[in-house]
With several copies, the nearest count.
Chain A
Amino acid sequence: MINKQLANAEEAVADVFDGATIMISGFGEAGSPIELIHALIDHGATNLTVINNNTGSGEVGLAALIKAKRVSKMICSYPRTANSTVFPKLYRSGETELELVPQGTLAERIRAGGSGIPAFYTPTSVGTPLGEGKEHRTINGREFVLEYGLTADFSLIKGRLADTHGNVLYNKTARNFGPLMAMAGNVSVIQAEHIVTPGEIDPEVIITPGIFVNRVVEIQKPAVESELIAAGVSYP
């Protein structure tokens, strides 16, 4: 019978391979799956392409993954954040590549990748440096650029509540990229504070239906990134 629950974060990332593309949910600390990221650091996979809105803060979570030099390329909209010192250093030294994507285009590219839409037109970035070199097209008298869908080998996502079929609810603005990355990941992994039996969540309120999710792990009291940073934690 269907049961997507694994014992722990370590198991959930055990098959991440060197060179994989990884989507990581979160907008700043809201929705960042710290325990899954730390398990990925422990696991050791390297030469990763990471898709996240930011580049992490302090030296925990995503920033710690970058600091450990596991990330060869970041795809994000806003790599400059308070307490973000790890990425700038590696970017300036040329050790980590950056693909800068407007936030709405990033979200739509991930949704498109998960929805079987290989490409779409958007008005965002027309006439700006980020639109340069992209295919342009005039539709109904307005100019648009062509953008391509994004998919990933693995998506690491923080939810609030999940069931063993992989149905997921999120917490407030921690929802952000999670439902989209669940769609676009070949293997989508959810960490949730509670994992319940199918039927315990009202089918009307499910945000991510289980079909998009491959693995769920229960992390009962997930770390709060800003608290770790305030406490001076550096992972590992």
Chain B
Amino acid sequence: MTNSPQQVGRTRDEMAIRLAQDIPDGSYVNLGIGIPELIAKYVPEGREFIYHTENGLLGMGPSPESGLGDPELINAGKRQVTAIPGAAYFHHADSFAMIRGGHLDLCVLGALQVSSGGDLANWSTGAPDAIPAVGGAMDLVAGVKSIYVITQHCTKNGEPKLVQACTFPLTGCGIVNRIYTNLAVIEVTAEGFQLIELSPGIDFEYVAERTGAPLLPLKDNTK
């Protein structure tokens, strides 16, 4: 889409590491499927996060050692997990009471598109023959205190995922707070996409060119 030379930015793991640094100690966190799951590997030294999985577990731990799992102890992605000391099991209505009732501090999700108004599309491409499947995404974005998106800045075809208005079916309106991509960390503000930080080796122009809506440059914090 542009002729500027390729800039690499952060890997998926580096994106997860970067996002994890912004999660306060003691946070209750729900991690979506995909890149968000990587965050659990990169909890900063001295901090403790408690992971919620919407299928009924608070205090989710890492995957079990091979052969030691229980097919009835799984996460929302239906993969086997473990439970940490202090964990609790509960039914789906209680689980979504936690979500809808604003008890979770942070949800990190993947995205198909995010608009400059904070709308998120992440559950359907709207393709006519696709089987629509939403899961808990709409509840999470409607209820969790902060919604962070972690995603590649552009699609595999180079199209921007950060757009003026989503063309895919929405998951929720005006609910995304921050976006962590391979290229940058961006806050969704009343004025639109606000750059917070460029990934190492990335230029502002390079990011702006690949963003489908105006990108406000870094604020001068030296004033």
Name A residues whose Cβ lies closer than 8 Å to a Cβ of B.
1-2, 27-31, 53, 77-82, 87-88, 91-92, 98, 100, 102-108, 110-111, 113-117, 122-130, 163, 165, 167, 170-180, 183, 197-199, 203-204, 206-207, 209-212, 224-226
Number of A-B contacts (CB under 8 A): 214
Q: Which residues of A contact B119 (CB under 8 A)?
A: 127
B74 close to A (CB within 8 Å): yes
Q: Which residues of B contact A170 (CB under 8 A)?
A: 89
Q: Are A124 and B143 in contact (CB under 8 A)?
A: yes
Q: Which residues of B contact A114 (CB under 8 A)?
A: 97, 101
0/1 per residue, B39-57, Cβ < 8 Å to A?
0000000001010111111
Chain B residue nearest to A131 in the complex (CB): B138
Chain A residue nearest to B95 in the complex (CB): A107
Of B85, B98, B124, B139, which one neighbours A198 at CB under 8 angstroms?
A: B85
Question: Could you tell me the distance between the alpha carbons of A115 and B92 in the complex, rounded to whole angstroms?
Answer: 12
Say whether, besides A104-B99, A115-B97, A207-B91, A127 and B170 are in contact (CB < 8 Å).
Answer: yes
Shortest 8 CB-CB distances between A and B: which pairs?
A199-B85, A198-B86, A116-B100, A104-B96, A104-B139, A127-B173, A115-B97, A107-B92
Of A129, A173, A198, which one neighbours B72 at CB under 8 angstroms?
A: A173
Q: Are A173 and B74 in contact (CB under 8 A)?
A: yes
Question: Could you tell me the distance between the alpha carbons of A107 and B135 in the complex, rounded to whole angstroms?
Answer: 11
Q: Which residues of A contact B171 (CB under 8 A)?
A: 128
Question: Could you tell me the distance between the alpha carbons of A197 and B88 in the complex, rounded to whole angstroms?
Answer: 14
Of B73, B131, B170, which one neighbours A128 at CB under 8 angstroms?
A: B170
Of B59, B143, B172, which one neighbours A203 at CB under 8 angstroms?
A: B59
Q: Which residues of B contact A113 (CB under 8 A)?
A: 101
Q: Are B136 and A102 in contact (CB under 8 A)?
A: yes
Q: Which residues of A contact B8 (CB under 8 A)?
A: none
Q: Which residues of B contact A110 (CB under 8 A)?
A: 93
Q: Which residues of B contact A125 (CB under 8 A)?
A: 138, 142
B133 close to A (CB within 8 Å): yes
Q: Are B100 and A104 in contact (CB under 8 A)?
A: yes
Question: Could you tell me the distance between the alpha carbons of A29 and B119 in the complex, rounded to whole angstroms?
Answer: 33
Q: Are B71 and A116 in contact (CB under 8 A)?
A: no
Q: Which residues of B contact A88 (CB under 8 A)?
A: 131
From A2, A128, A225, residue with most partner B Cβ within 10 Å: A128
B218 close to A (CB within 8 Å): no
B28 close to A (CB within 8 Å): yes
Q: Which residues of A contact B58 (CB under 8 A)?
A: 209-211
Q: How far is the CB of A218 from chain B (nearest CB, A)?
A: 17
Interface residues of B in 9-29 (CB under 8 A from A): 25-26, 28
Q: Which residues of A contact B172 (CB under 8 A)?
A: 126-128
Question: Could you tell me the distance between the alpha carbons of A227 and B124 in the complex, rounded to whole angstroms?
Answer: 30
Question: Could you tell me the distance between the alpha carbons of A80 and B93 in the complex, rounded to whole angstroms?
Answer: 22
0/1 per residue, B119-163, Cβ < 8 Å to A?
100001000010111111111001100000000000000000000
Q: Which residues of A contact B71 (CB under 8 A)?
A: 29-30, 224-226
Q: Are B86 and A172 in contact (CB under 8 A)?
A: no
Q: Are B136 and A104 in contact (CB under 8 A)?
A: yes
Q: Are A2 and B26 in contact (CB under 8 A)?
A: yes
Of B72, B100, B133, which one neighbours A115 at CB under 8 angstroms?
A: B100
Q: Are A212 and B103 in contact (CB under 8 A)?
A: yes
